[in-house]
Structure 1
């Protein structure tokens, strides 16, 4: 356990960050799953709308440090590829 005041404060901050990051990461995954479910259902318009919604969310996750920029690019590319394959 932390002994110094500085270490105790860092432990508190780390816990708050961990909880916040968990929620934001869960939200990101939820929006990605919405695109995938729309693709599986075969609804092009719904999938496209879900994709336009998820792109800024993925980009903001990169800016917040939740995911790496290459993972974001990979996710967007794969989702877009699935939508284009439907059309």
Structure 2
């Protein structure tokens, strides 16, 4: 017999690390990849000869999503994590 609430809190930090690693290494929603966004940014940069803006936009996009994920996962860790004394 497994009691889920006791098994979940110790797993939260590991799952959070796994989630962030998967976000960085795999396609976002199986449609938008980091490589695809960078290629589009390069295409726009080559067309208009403006390199800073597209690359900055792609970086900001992933930074915002990563920071949102980190904040959410930290909240989950505090909410459901094990309290050690």
- Give the TM-score normalised by structure 1: 0.39
- Larger relative contact order (Cα-Cα within 8 Å, sequence gap ≥ 6): 2
- Give the TM-score normalised by structure 2: 0.40
Which structure's CA Rg is the greater one?
2
